[in-house]
Amino acid sequence: MADVKISQLPAATTPLAGTEQIPLVQSTTTKQITVSNLLTAANLGTPTAINLTNATNVPVNQATGILAVNRGGTGTATPSLVQGTNIAVTGTWPNQTISATGTAAGDVTGPASATDNAVARFNNTTGQVIQNSGVIINDSGEVTVGVWKGTEVTVPYGGTGASTLTGVLKGNGQSAISAAVAGTDFVAPGGALGTPSSGTATNLTGLPLTTGVTGTLPIANGGTNATTAATARSNILPSYAGNANKVLAVNAGATDVEYVSVGGTGSVTDVSVVSANGLAGTVATSTTTPAITLSTTVTGVVKGNGTALSAATAGTDYVAPGGALGTPSSGTLTNTTGLPLTTGVTGLLPVANGGTGTATPAIVAGTNVTVSGTWPNQTINATAGGSGTVTSVGGTGTVNGLTLTGTVTTSGNLTLGGTLDLSAPPAIGGTVAAAITGTTVTASTKFVGTNFDAAGSGGGGLRTSGGSNCLQWGGGGGVNLTLDGAFNMNPANASISIAPTGTGTLTINPATAGTINNMAIGGTTPAAGAFTTLSATTAIGVASGGTGATTLAGAGIATLTGTETLTNKTIEAGTFTNGYTEEVATANTSTAYTIDLAGGSVQILTLTGNCTYTFPTPVAGKSFILIQKQDGTGSRTVTWPASVDWPSATAPTLTATASKADKFVFTAIDGSNWLGSVAGQNYTV
């Protein structure tokens, strides 16, 4: 242990036993002493001045002097309690006893027991008797009381100065607290903050940013310091300058964002199609050049909901083929075929649309014409004619290989000989040569002038080889042209054009039964004059393009002004303007009622008893509306047919209030079920 400083020695870790030895210097000589001898023999003496701080294990029994009161002592070597008024002290210090001896006025007595921590209170006015109370002050100073029975506790004493208060409170800074007024003393929940000239709002929630807020919120306060999105992006994001076609990304240190250039190329290595939303697909080539074919898993009519495709329901999502459109009050029907004109069509078809424009058509007699009978069986007859005698007719010359010779006075013959040469067609009816195409000769104008003169007083005609007239014309300027017998033009695409320019009348009236086949009336250029009546002595058969009847009603043809009913007919791609009207059936139900849609597709029924319904047989696409009304009694119930299918298999609860109505819609989806739905309830009707 040589050359070891005391400060380098380890500290003692156990209490001293007294036998430990420590060195000390006495009279310049180093000696040893045990701890017990040091504590027993050592004496601190009476220093003239010394401060002993935080001393422990000081041998007090060896201390001398008097410890002053201000040092925690008694200040005397012979302390003793001194008795006072009504107090007796017996014994000597430190064993003295204190006892009360007085019984004079003012002495206080109390109960034999009390509640722990209860506040004592006087029991009467003598001031000498105390009693228990319900006011508790625990060891932590917390006060527990019962019901306050006094007057209002004022503000200086910790109260509010009021007996009743409701809502938010406010103080006047002096002696009272009262109810605060919303909008004056505080901002009510949901209220506006007003327009302060300046201020600091801290930790606000529910602030109505759409109203009452002006200015821009700085970036330092969590805003963008801008009033437009473009300015906000410019304020928050890094500068756009020099960063065209770059993308925003987190920097390498993950401390901020920056614009970086991106690029790269690649190839598709595999492609597949996932079936979803009613679509499926196949991939013919799933590598770099995929060939994808999409298909649908839906059968039948398809409908979309904006996201997926699914099967449409006939009668709900579309009108099924064969479904009835009802009876529209008006509408526009375009490109319709198969329209049943015998029923359900009203109004008049204008002439411009291929109709007559009237419900009572009739042919009007003109000059030299009489009309008899009524529509559609009217007869047109000519009342005027002409007669005369041919005095001289001569023929000479050759045209296109044909030579006319001979002279006719009151009688005689003209001879036409030679062979007709059509290599250079003559002009027929004008100055332009006739066009010859196949078996058709087309003249540039009608027959006029010297080309075919029918102005003779005796008229003229064409005869057959047997001498019978087949075509005759009136003489003396007459306008009648008569066709007798058969006149056949059979070549393909041949036509006869009859185009009157005046007020003449075309009459086709076989003397005996005959046939007019494939006659076209009309063309691209309207004929001058008016066609008023087409008469037939018998009905034109259906096989010949007729109706097989002599009247519209008999033919089952719908008129444009009459009222007919369409039965089992289909209108395709019809457009109705101004809506349409469905037939309405109104009745009382009693306790059983059978709905017949022949009476109307809108059924307005009043429940006059607890009713059991019978519905018609469902037909896919058929539907009807039921307006069901409670009578004046109300609370009538209904038993629905088993064929009715309600949503979630739960029939609706009927409105039970008297005279109130519910609206239901029923749609057939097949031949077995009606889909029922509630369109509205509790109507006043």
Assess if residue 75 is contained within a domain. Answer: no
* pLDDT exceeds 50 at position 389: yes
Q: Residues 504-515: pLDDT tens digits?
A: 555 555 444 445
Closest CA to 473 of 456, 454, 499: 454
Q: What single string gives the DSSP state of each residue in 525-536?
A: SPPSS-------
Q: Is 474 exposed, middle or buried (0-12, 13-18, 19+ CB in 10 A)?
A: buried
* pLDDT exceeds 70 at position 556: no
| 363/366 Cα distance (integer angstroms) | 9
For residue 329, the model assigns a pLDDT of 46
* pLDDT exceeds 50 at position 190: yes
Q: Which position has the higher pLDDT, 193 or 561?
A: 561
Assess if residue 638 is contained within a domain. Answer: yes
For residue 318, the model assigns a pLDDT of 74
Reported confidence tier of residue 679, pLDDT bands at 50, 70, 90: very high
When pLDDT is averaged across residues 44-53 and rounded to a whole number, the result is 52
For residue 628, the model assigns a pLDDT of 96
Written as one letter, the residue type at 674 is W
Assess if residue 641 is contained within a domain. Answer: yes
Fill in the DSSP letter of residue 440. Answer: E
* pLDDT exceeds 60 at position 529: no
pTM of the model: 0.27
* pLDDT exceeds 80 at position 125: yes
| 16/586 Cα distance (integer angstroms) | 120
Q: Residues 287-303: pLDDT tens digits?
A: 667 777 777 778 888 88
CA distances in angstroms from 477 to 76, 191, 430, 471, 505, listed in the order given: 179, 104, 20, 16, 15
The alpha carbons of the chain give a radius of gyration, in whole angstroms, of 64
| 644/618 Cα distance (integer angstroms) | 10
* pLDDT exceeds 80 at position 648: yes
| Helices (runs of H) and strands (runs of E) counted in the chain | 3, 39
When pLDDT is averaged across residues 85-112 and rounded to a whole number, the result is 78
For residue 342, the model assigns a pLDDT of 61
Q: Which position has the higher pLDDT, 371 or 638?
A: 638
* pLDDT exceeds 60 at position 198: no
Burial pattern 398-417, b for ≥16 Cβ within 10 A else e, equals: eeeeeeeeeeeeeeeeeeee
Task: Extract long-range pairs of 309-314: CB within 8 Å, 24+ residues apart.
Answer: 309/277, 309/278, 309/279, 310/278, 313/669, 314/620, 314/621, 314/669
Assess if residue 613 is contained within a domain. Answer: yes
- Cβ–Cβ under 8 Å, residues 412 and 390: no
Q: Residues 321-362: pLDDT tens digits?
A: 655 554 444 555 666 666 666 655 667 778 777 777 787 788
For residue 594, the model assigns a pLDDT of 96
CA distances in angstroms from 637 to 394, 590, 607, 609, 679, listed in the order given: 105, 11, 8, 8, 18
**Mean pLDDT score across all residues of the chain:** 74
Q: Residues 403-449: pLDDT tens digits?
A: 777 777 766 677 777 776 666 666 555 556 655 555 455 544 444 43
Report whether the peptide linkage leading into residue 79 is cis, meaning its omega lies within 30 degrees of zero. Answer: no
For residue 660, the model assigns a pLDDT of 96
For residue 380, the model assigns a pLDDT of 82
For residue 80, the model assigns a pLDDT of 82
**Residue whose structure tokens are 């007699």:** 365
Residues in the chain: 685
Q: Which position has the higher pLDDT, 553 or 109?
A: 109
Q: Which position has the higher pLDDT, 368 or 639?
A: 639
Assess if residue 353 is contained within a domain. Answer: no
| 483/509 Cα distance (integer angstroms) | 10
- Cβ–Cβ under 8 Å, residues 600 and 623: no
Q: How many domains does the chain fold into?
A: 1
Q: What single string gives the DSSP state of each residue in 23-36?
A: EEEETTEEEEEEHH
Percent of the chain with pLDDT over 90: 15
CB atoms within 10 A of CB 152: 15
| 222/150 Cα distance (integer angstroms) | 53
Assess if residue 588 is contained within a domain. Answer: yes
Q: What's the start-to-end Cα distance of the chain, in Å?
A: 121
* pLDDT exceeds 80 at position 129: yes
Written as one letter, the residue type at 323 is G
Assess if residue 671 is contained within a domain. Answer: yes
* pLDDT exceeds 70 at position 308: yes
- Cβ–Cβ under 8 Å, residues 491 and 438: yes
For residue 632, the model assigns a pLDDT of 94
Reported confidence tier of residue 652, pLDDT bands at 50, 70, 90: very high
Beta bridge partners of 418: 402
Segments forming the whole domain that contains residue 603? 583-684
User: What are the phi and psi torsion angles at 378 (to 5°)?
Assistant: -115, 150
- Cβ–Cβ under 8 Å, residues 634 and 659: yes
Assess if residue 655 is contained within a domain. Answer: yes
Provide, for the chain, the percentages of residues in helix, strand and coil under a 3-state DSSP scheme, each rounded to the nearest 5.
5, 25, 70
Give the tokens for residue 468.
């019978």
For residue 531, the model assigns a pLDDT of 42
Q: Which residues have CB under 8 Å from 75's CB, separation 6+?
A: 66, 67, 68, 69
When mean pLDDT is compared across 195-199, 209-213, 570-574, the lowest value belongs to 195-199
Q: Residues 62-78: pLDDT tens digits?
A: 567 788 877 777 788 78
